Amino acid sequence: MKIVYLSVSGQLGGAERALLDFMASLRAAQPRMTLELVAGADGALLAEARALGVAARALAFPRVLARLGDAGVRGGGKSRLLGTLGRASLSTPAAALYTRRLREALAASAPDLVHTNGFKMHALGLWAAPPGVPVLWHVHDYVSPRPLMARLMRAQARRCAAAVANSSSVADDLRAACGPGLRVYPIHNAVDLVRFSPAGSVLDLDSRAGLAAPAHPVVRVGLVATMARWKGHEVFLRALARLDGDVPVRGYIVGDALYQTAGSQHSVAELRRTAQRLGLGERVGFTGFVEDAAAAMRALDVVVHASTQPEPFGLVIAEAMACGRALVVSKGGGAAEIVTPGEDALVHEPGSAAELAARIGELARDPALRAALGARAAQSARRRFARDRLARELTPIYRMLTVKAA
């Protein structure tokens, strides 16, 4: 069987790392399956895919497609304007030319199935797949808050063979947006438990952030995330500013702007200004993009997840659990499916800096609680997030769709 994956981004955000994990799992379980990847831009995803034995190449989006997206205005007042602009962008000659080139590339590959990652590829994949070849959408985000994509996906759903969603919560949302005609299979992500494990190298976060090592021991608390605005960087900074200082804490923002979509991300410079306004000084450091996320997490006593909107899945949560970290998670969405509050993580109300500060304070004052939560998180991760599960859950779906198509 031959599968061609279409990825919007060539960078390694959550959806792309999840895709790599699926490919790695399939390579191990189904060595005779041929896997190819086409991405809308070059980047680290392609090199990592090649290292797994996946033939990967970039078919670069024209600028108009690269910048199109409405993730940044989820539910915002600009949605209608963006929807209109979005429709216009998708019907430009540049977009039509791109679809033609993608169609040619797919015809040459002659896949048995096309597996799409990212909203733009869900639409482009359907327009470009050879006739009769099933297209499987892999949906990593909520559709309903994204007006343009929701409309497009609803309109296209009947041509899509089936969808995989990264949580039951995302699956429910997708069913609600696309109607009962679309079959949706939730498959939770997994992580590489060898790389994300409690033991291993530890990053020097202070030097990465250009800070002097603290004069006295500190509890290191970090938000590891892409710079999407809804990931809650500002909530985290405000929570740090509220800590009463009885236990010295140093906060870290680990990550940098990644995606090409306009308007949807913070810049590090902007967050530095916020930290300055809050008077955080050396109580927070910005490491920028970190290659080895596991080593960064192992350097943290507490990993914070602060998304202000329901998190579709939360790969960072799974990774931090696998690293045996004490974790504070923003309640709701798919994230609620992967932690057991009080057992393997603490939770806070999304967007509440006060609650987040309270949880960080509890953990900062109580090393035994941190150790117990971390140990239980590592156990949960081994049970829930082993990568071999992915091939076990996905292969029957591939088989069913390709048999039907044949």
Q: What is the CB neighbour count within 10 angstroms for residue 84?
A: 12
Stretch that binds ligand GLC, among 94-102, 272-280, 312-320, 339-347 (CB under 6 A): 312-320
CB burial class (10 A; 0-12, 13-18, 19+) of residue 76?
A: middle
Q: Cβ distance 199 to 323 under 8 Å?
A: no
Should residue 140 be labelled a site residue for ligand GLC when binding is judged by CB under 6 A? yes
If the CB atoms of residues 49 and 133 are measured against ligand GLC, the closer one turns out to be 49
Told to check if 338 binds ligand GLC by CB under 6 A, we report no
- Residue ranges in 18-37 that form contacts with ligand GLC under rule CB under 6 A: 18
313 binds ligand GLC (CB under 6 A): yes
Query: Interface with ligand GLC includes 153 (CB under 6 A)?
Result: no
* 14 near ligand GLC, rule: CB under 6 A: yes
Q: Does 166 bind ligand GLC (CB under 6 A)?
A: yes
Among 36, 48, 234, 311, binds ligand GLC (CB under 6 A): 311
Q: How far is the CB of 189 from ligand GLC (least distance, A)?
A: 5
275 vs 327 by CB, closer to ligand GLC: 327
DSSP string covering 231-270: G-HHHHHHHHHH--SSS-EEEEEE-------TT-B--HHH
- Using alpha carbons, select from 225, 14, 230, 227 the residue that is nearest to residue 117: 14
Question: CB of 279: closest distance to ligand GLC in angstroms?
Answer: 31
3-state DSSP assignment of residue 137: strand
Stretch that binds ligand GLC, among 86-94, 282-290, 310-318, 389-397 (CB under 6 A): 310-318
CA 256, 258, 259 angle in degrees (round to 5)? 150
For residue 315, state whether it binds ligand GLC (rule: CB under 6 A). Answer: yes
Q: Number of helices (H) and strands (E), helices first, in the chain?
A: 17, 13
Residues binding ligand GLC (CB under 6 A)? 13-15, 18, 140-141, 166, 189, 311-315
